[in-house]
Structures are given as structure tokens and as C-alpha cells.
Structure 1
């Protein structure tokens, strides 16, 4: 079952309300949050403020999640906003690396399979880097590049890089944590992003978002808010079709099969560490990467890389063989990066 299948069928955790919507890994990554070692160590980016780190690490845990997407103001006379979409889910967020100045959080969805037994789907990953020298940014359809961050802009700031379900890139941006008025919150600069599945599968007239992200800690957990301009080409010029407000709310809960997510991660974490390394190598080699986008899977690599992990989890594929195959998939999908200028 893919994430798109879960969103489309609405099984268990993606229950609709109204309309259906849509690096190194330590061996402690599969353990409950309290057992994950997070001792900070000073890295190349410097020692990060404790308040910032506490806020980022505070997003790890187990949650019931609500997803609320609403197109608001149209900016073309012939464009009509689509109806609001809301859905819900159950998600485990684990710390898979913490060096002090780099923190990686892996999201894992837990849904019901056809037999009503829990199925785990690896979801998005968010990487946080303190005072980054560069950030991987989306440049348009199928292209990402490592963008230098000016020293003044990097000072005291964090980059957040978001990755697809198969660890292919999605978007990155730089912002600062603030801890005032009773709230810890991080707000990004404006960043381009590829279409999410909820839009890409509809083949809309726009082909990217220009958005601002905000992550804020709440008494119940945390919230991810997005202010998106949905953009695309018309008559050869990039225009804004409509604005969108997104509110994804994470409320603490353990009332779902959390152990299934940890079991999946324990079986596949070595494989996914190697996959991350292969993507990192491709990005470093070309100072960016080009990979074909695919509506249902995020990237053209999605089905193959996710399928290999599922095979490992079910005992059908050995980890070394799966890693070798995954590296071939990534190489084949990105071998045109240098020629494309990514």
C-alpha cells in the first residue's frame, strides 16, 4: 500500500471529514523516544542553542495528525479555488540522528491494511542543520541545487530540509527559532516546493508552490503551518493561480499500534541509512540533483525504493542485496544531473 492508496481509500487513519485529501543512523533509532540518545556534540556548524534544540526534539513522539488544506484567494479571473480538503492520520516521529548541530526526524505512518492489521508506511523526513553553509533548494520541475547560505544569514539560523518518502529531495529553506510570547516557533524564508500528491495527482494548471513554513510547539504537541502561493506558467510567464493555507496539527497520542512502526524501523533502518547516503553522494557530486517527479510517488524512484524496504520488512529481501539494488535505482535516476546543470 502506498501513501497515495492510504489517502485515496481512507482506511483507518486517513479518515475523511468532508472531502478526502490527501548521515548516519544509530541503533537506538527504533527505540521509544525516551531511549534515544540526544547528547549534543559540537560540530562544524557550532553549538546550537539549547532552546532551539529542545523545540526541534520536541517534535519527536507519537501523534494523531489532522491535515487541513484550503485554497483561499484566486489571482486569475478564470481560476476557481477547489473545495477544502481535510483528513487525519496516526504518525510516529523518531530521532534518527542528533549530533548537536544536525537533527534528523523520521516520520512513519501507521494505517490499516486490507486484513485490518497495521501497515507502516515510511513518510517524510525533516533534517535540521544549525548555521548551514548551504541548503538544498527546489529549482523547478525535477531539479534541486545546493544553494550557498551567506554567513550573516546563517548566523543563529537553522535550515530545514524535507525529503520524500523514498528519501529523494523535496524542499529546503532557512529560518530562525523564536521563543517569546509563550511560543517556540520557527519560520522559514519563502521557498519553492514541488507539488504534493494531493495536487499532483489532479494535474492542475500550476506546477509548484512558493511557500512559507512555520513549526510551532503547542501544549498538545506541535503544528506545521504553511502559507503557499500555487504557481505555474501561463503564456510563458510564471504566475500565481491561488493562495493556500495549510494547517497540519500533531496531537500526542499512543492509542494506535506504535510498536508496528518501531518494528518496521528496526528491520529497515540500515537499508534507509544506505539510501540516504546514496542520495547524499549524488547531491554532493553534482552540487544538486535532477530526478523525474511522479505524481503518485513523489519521485520516479519512489515505487522501487519503497518496495525494497517493504520486502526487507517482510523477510523477502536481504539488506545487502536491497542496498545494492537501491544504489542502482538512484544512479540510474540521477545520472543526468551533471548534464542538466543541477
Structure 2
């Protein structure tokens, strides 16, 4: 039997490794793209354990709604999914957004009090991994975390941990903790996907972190009839260019160096209220992209507490 030269063996091995890496990346992308679609979403949260024996768990939270997860942008290394919440036959709300970025080295780390620190990861820390960047309804920051998509035994799963502000269901109702440490698991199911969470509710002070209580959460996305989202499709078609301009303004804010801190209310209004009002105004007055960017940049800048 003729011996294969060592160099050829190395080349074959290198090609096999490259092919495997490419197929893994494509598996990752296919799993993320599968998050898009039309869904009924159920929200279930329950507090489970506190180190303080006198603590009493808050009531369990259960709710549901319908969401259209729109794939807004798709490139080899980035996928943007915008969630549109449907609350009736003719009532919709721009909901949260998730950007998935491959081997992203720049992430925002939540501290407390509407403050995020800009963190630089090393190439070793990001190799083969995806950052999920989650944004508020007005495209301001919420949380960002990094993890590896795993594809084994017909299961497709991504897992991470990060700090975030209080969840929307509690931030206007509670002040007994100020940081939610999220243990996130995203995995595909037979009928959609699951966003499973093992959370810690943290009291963060200058002296350090103290655990208030733990929480288990499930957000289950089950595929729904696309016909229910006809009004939402038309609504988003009108709003889409305005919110693209908003994202571009925020991208400039995120690219600037230093800590990012946001104000609460300005002139009696929260940021999302101002930007939602301007969205309707932009449609009524037929703003072009440049006018939308100029107007929203002025508003967003007014809510920046400091960038140092």
C-alpha cells in the first residue's frame, strides 16, 4: 500500500477541521434563524428559594400574548430579530429586540441604576461563541451575554449568564432588589422554542452583592397562525424605516467609549414614550431617514446621563 506523504495528511486533516467548523457555524445560524416566526408566548415565573428564612415569595407570574419575531437583518456573523407584540386584532406594540453577533468582543455589562459598562473580551473568550444583545422597546440597552450553541442528540441549545435591570413585570412594582442575574437557556422545541431562566434577584451596594431570592422562569414560544398577524405586518411596514434610523443612532452611542448611563424621565416622560410618539409623527409627516435620525438623535442624547 502506497504511503500518503505527511504534508497531504496534514492538508486533509486541516480541510476536515475547516469543514467541521463551517458546518457548526451554519448549524448555529440555522438555530438562531429558527427563532423567527409567528408565536403564542406564555410567560411563567415563580420565586423558589431565599437564604433569608423570613422572606416570603412574591406571587407567581403568568401571562400570555402573541408575538411576531421578525428577522430584520441577516449576515454571516449577525442576525437581528425584532419582536412585535400583538395585543388585539388591530393593536400592536414594538417589543424587545435581540441581536445575535458571532465572536463579538465588545459587550455592555449591566452594573446598576441604569448604568452599563463597556467590556472588551479577548479572541479566546469569543472563539466560536455568540453574543445575544437584548434591547428595550426603545432600542436602549437591556443586557448582553455570551454563550456557545450546542447541537447534540437532536437538541439545539445556547446558554449564558449575565446581569440585567429588573424585568419589565417588576421594575415599576419593586425596589427591594436592583439587579437580576439571569441564567439564560434558549433551545428549540418541536413547536417553536423555549427561553428558560434560572435567575437570582440581587441587592447590589458598594459593599458587594447580596442574594435576595432565586426565581425560575419559562417563556414558551409556540408557533401560531400567521393570519392573526396581518395587521401587525402592515403596521411594521410603515414603522420599519423609522426604527432602522433609531437603531443607527443607538449604534453610534454604543460605539462611543466610556460608561453608558441613562436618565429616567425627562420633562415628565420616559424615553420609550418620546420615541413611540415620534414614530407616529414620522409616518404622518413622511420623514425620510435623515430627518428620523436627526430627530431621534436629539431625543436620545437628552436621556444620556453621562458617557465617561
Q: TM-score, normalised by structure 1?
A: 0.77
Structure 1 segment 95-244 matched on structure 2, within 5 A: 95-112=71-88, 117-188=89-160, 190-233=161-204, 236-244=207-215
Residues 221/161 of structure 1: CA separation in 2 closer, same or farther (3 Å cut): same
- Residue 48 of structure 1 contacts residue 130 of structure 1 at CA under 8 Å; is this kept in 2? no
Structure 1: stretches of 5+ with no match in the other structure: 1-45
Larger radius of gyration: 2
Number of matched pairs = 283
Equivalent position of 1:6 in the other structure: none
Root-mean-square deviation (Å) = 2.2
Match of 2:276 in 1: 306
Do structure 1's residue 332 and structure 2's residue 308 form an aligned pair?
no
C-alpha separation between the residues in 1 aligned to 2:76 and 2:128?
14
1:1-59: CA deviations, max 9, x gaps?
A: xxxxxxxxxxxxxxxxxxxxxxxxxxxxxxxxxxxxxxxxxxxxx99711000000000
The answer as to whether partners of 1:124 and 1:164 remain within 8 angstroms in 2 is yes
Q: CA deviation at 1:312?
A: 3.7
**Do 1:127 and 1:161's aligned partners in 2 also have CA atoms closer than 8 Å?**
yes
The reply on whether 1:78 has 2:47 as its aligned counterpart is: no
TM-score relative to the length of structure 2: 0.86
Structure 2: runs of 5 or more not aligned: 1-21
Q: After the TM superposition, which segments of 4 or more aligned residues of structure 1 sit over 3 Å from their partners?
A: 233-237, 310-313, 316-323
CA distance in 2, matches of 1:160, 1:267: 27
